[in-house]
């Protein structure tokens, strides 16, 4: 199968937008030990979309739908923020369980709402399961802006991420990226590069961010190329290329380090 | 990086050899049945690509690079239409930036626009949801419509490629005759099936049941994608107790769980029916597939 740059480039740019916001957010998620928060927030965004349909808002009213998705994600993150304060005092190890409960509640609330809406299910699937290959340049303006904003904030004033602002930026970034690239790629872009930068053990906040971003970019590019050559679904191939690339680089890195010491 | 370089070189070589190959028309078929029909009408004058198989739900599709690449090179798009592919086809056409297959272009052929549709709604109401108001899209399940779509496809192919016009028209006539012969052969099966009562998964069999005179007693999943409620299931079992059905059927792309559940409850046979052809490259694929569908139905509803 052919490699066609006009197919690959918009998808790669979408990946870059997602990485810009998700790498700083992912580092914070790892630090706080709230790995599955993105799945819960994405589910809340989906719930907002279904709610909009149920209230009779038409799929063509793009901005209204987006507003519902973001507001719903924000409500979800408010709940999770309150929970974080609560669990700080009452044993942090239960927080992940609470996030999981929020996830299933949001997911099943969608099913209950869909019961009264004849074809909402089909539309929901298209919205939540964004497919990176369908990306068009015009769709990237807002995600690029949000990506640069989050990345810039994290670079210059990391303290912003400590408080409540983390949740606002997080819901905004997740709502956008889930529709652009789908929930699997969102999870991978959030966790894998950040974890990789931790494990490869480079010092310094900025160096870690750069290493994570570099890994993410190479993984997206490799995934897009492999998916073109092998003709396999693109999102899934990128997830695998990101995981495998991290594993290989880590193995080589540690082998070299071992050889130098020995 | 040298791995990627060698990969790129390998790909470039394969591309150049590929593009040298064909002077035929490129046809992009959304579903296997339309690939089979195009193959029957156009034979080796066409290079056909089928985007989905009988095992896949044509509502949803995973985006692969080849989809866009094939759509880009397509001279003709052959799909069901009537919103069946609404989740991905408009995006794909847009991404392909191929003017030949845009809506209203000559290379944009929708099967549901060639025949009379069932299940059209005169009045569209929000409470019904806003999809499928155009009518039921699964038109390939009935031979008369299939023959008509075949002849319309032949004249469309003739417009795009006038030098082979006579061949396309001739193949369409032959296909129509084959279908009529097959229908005569199916007459005993049809008589056996007429008046039988079926439970279906959802409303995707209307053309088949309408043609065969089969009565649809109930739907397992009235809203596609949303699991049925307990109330619906208990009303189903109550209905079946009062007015029994002969069998429960589900398509090859559908999850058999609900059908199996009801089959256990009601002691009815539940059977899988292939929703489309399995090997569209065979010239007799469509007729063999219909034959298979009828025989399976007859077996399931016997006695």
Q: What is the pLDDT of residues A59-84, one digit of tens each?
A: 677 888 889 999 999 999 999 989 88
Say whether B128 and A114 touch across the interface (CB within 8 A).
no
Give how far Cα B107 sits from Cα of A149, B25, B85, B160, Å: 44, 11, 17, 8
Q: Does A138 touch chain B (CB under 8 A)?
A: no
- Is residue B21 scored above 50 in pLDDT? no
For an interface test with A, the pick among B8, B64, B65 (most A C-beta atoms closer than 10 Å) comes out as B65
Identify the pLDDT of residue A90: 83
CB < 8 Å to A119, chain B: 129-132, 223-224
Q: Does A60 touch chain B (CB under 8 A)?
A: no
Q: Which of A117, A134, A227 sits opposite B95 (nearest CB)?
A: A134
Q: How confident is the model at residue A242 (pLDDT cuts 50, 70, 90)?
A: very high
Identify the pLDDT of residue B18: 45
CB < 8 Å to A235, chain B: 62-63
Identify the pLDDT of residue A127: 60
- Is residue A124 scored above 70 in pLDDT? no
- Kindly report the nearest CA distance between residue A246 and chain B, in angstroms: 15
Contact at 8 Å (CB) between B42 and B285? no
Say whether B62 and A131 touch across the interface (CB within 8 A).
yes
In 3D space, the residue among B236, B223, B297 whose CA is nearest the CA of residue B263 turns out to be: B236
Q: What is the mean pLDDT of residues B267-274?
A: 92
- Is residue B17 scored above 60 in pLDDT? no
Identify the pLDDT of residue B132: 59
Closest chain A residue by Cα to residue B59: A122
CA–CA separation, B165 vs A232, rounded Å? Answer: 36
Identify the pLDDT of residue B110: 97
Q: Does A184 touch chain B (CB under 8 A)?
A: no
Identify the weakest region by mean pLDDT among A19-23, B167-171, B228-232. B228-232
Q: Does B126 touch chain A (CB under 8 A)?
A: yes
Q: Does A131 touch chain B (CB under 8 A)?
A: yes
- Whole-number average pLDDT of chain A: 88
Q: How confident is the model at residue B128 (pLDDT cuts 50, 70, 90)?
A: very low
Q: Please report the DSSP string for chain A in residue order.
A: ----HHHHHHHHHHHHHHHHHHHHHHHHHHHHT-TTHHHHHHHHHHHHHHHHHHTT--TT-HHHHHHHHHHHHHHHHHHHHHHHHHHHHS-GGGHHHHHHHHHHHHHHHHHHHHTT-SSHHHHHHHHHS--GGG--GGGGHHHHHHHHHHHHHHHH-GGGGGSTHHHHHHHHHHHHHHHHH-HHHHHHHHHHHHHHHHHTT--SHHHHHHHHHHHHHHHHHHHHHHHHHHT--HHHHHHHHHHHHHHHHHHHHHHHHHHHH-
- Whole-number average pLDDT of chain B: 87
Please write the tens of the pLDDT for every residue from B43-98: 999 999 999 988 888 887 878 888 999 999 999 999 999 988 988 899 899 999 99
Q: Does A3 touch chain B (CB under 8 A)?
A: yes
CA–CA separation, A30 vs A208, rounded Å? Answer: 13
Share of chain A above pLDDT 70, in %: 93
Q: Does B87 touch chain A (CB under 8 A)?
A: yes
Q: What is the mean pLDDT of residues B202-228?
A: 86
């Amino acid at each position: 199968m052919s490699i066609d740059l006009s197919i690959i480039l918009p998808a790669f740019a979408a990946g870059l937008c997602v990485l810009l916001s998700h790498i700083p957010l992912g580092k914070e998620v790892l630090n706080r030990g709230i790995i599955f928060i993105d799945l819960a927030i994405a589910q809340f965004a989906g719930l907002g979309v279904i709610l909009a349909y149920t209230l009779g808002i038409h799929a063509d009213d793009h901005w209204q739908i987006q507003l519902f998705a973001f507001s719903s994600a924000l409500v979800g993150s408010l709940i999770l923020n309150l929970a974080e304060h609560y669990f700080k005092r009452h044993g942090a190890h239960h927080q992940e369980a609470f996030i999981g409960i929020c996830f299933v509640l949001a997911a099943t609330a969608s099913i209950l709402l869909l019961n009264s809406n004849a074809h909402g299910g089909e539309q929901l699937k298209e919205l939540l399961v964004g497919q990176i290959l369908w990306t068009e340049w015009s769709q990237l303006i807002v995600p690029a802006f949000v990506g640069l904003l989050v990345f810039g904030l994290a670079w210059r004033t990391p303290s912003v991420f400590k408080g409540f602002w983390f949740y606002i930026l997080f819901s905004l970034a997740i709502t956008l990226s889930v529709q652009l690239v789908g929930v699997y790629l969102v999870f991978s872009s959030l966790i894998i590069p950040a974890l990789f930068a931790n494990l490869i053990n480079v010092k310094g906040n900025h160096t870690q961010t750069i290493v994570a971003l570099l890994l993410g970019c190479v993984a997206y590019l490799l995934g897009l190329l492999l998916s073109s050559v092998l003709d396999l679904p693109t999102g899934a191939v990128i997830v695998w290329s990101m995981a495998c690339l991290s594993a290989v680089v880590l193995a080589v890195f540690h082998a070299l380090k071992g050889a130098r010491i020995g | 990086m040298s791995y990627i370089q060698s990969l790129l070189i390998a790909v470039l070589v394969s591309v150049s050899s590929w593009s040298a190959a064909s002077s035929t028309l490129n046809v992009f078929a959304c579903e296997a049945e339309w690939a089979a029909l195009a193959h029957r009408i156009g034979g080796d004058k066409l290079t056909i690509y089928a985007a989905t198989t009988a095992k896949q739900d044509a509502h949803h599709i995973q985006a692969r690079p080849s989809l866009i690449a094939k759509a880009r090179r397509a001279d003709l798009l052959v799909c069901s239409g009537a919103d069946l592919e609404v989740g991905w086809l408009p995006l794909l056409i847009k991404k392909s930036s191929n003017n030949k297959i845009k809506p209203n272009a000559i290379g944009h052929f929708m099967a549901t626009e060639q025949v009379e549709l069932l299940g059209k709604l005169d009045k569209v109401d929000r409470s019904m949801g806003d999809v499928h108001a155009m009518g039921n899209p699964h038109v390939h399940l009935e031979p008369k419509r299939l023959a008509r779509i075949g002849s319309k496809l032949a004249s469309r192919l003739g417009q795009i490629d006038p030098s082979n016009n006579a061949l396309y028209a001739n193949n369409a006539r032959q296909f129509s005759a084959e279908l009529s012969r097959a229908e005569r052969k199916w007459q005993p099966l049809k008589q056996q099936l007429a008046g039988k009562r079926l439970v279906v998964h959802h409303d995707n069999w209307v053309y088949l049941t309408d043609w065969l005179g089969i009565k649809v007693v109930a739907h397992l999943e009235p809203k596609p994608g949303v699991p049925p409620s307990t109330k619906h299931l208990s009303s189903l079992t109550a209905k079946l107790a009062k007015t029994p059905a002969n069998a429960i059927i589900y398509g090859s792309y559908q999850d058999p769980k609900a059908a199996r559940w009801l089959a256990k409850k009601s002691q009815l046979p539940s059977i899988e029916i292939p929703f489309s052809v399995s090997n569209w490259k065979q010239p007799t694929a469509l007729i063999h597939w219909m034959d298979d569908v009828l025989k399976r139905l007859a077996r399931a509803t016997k006695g």
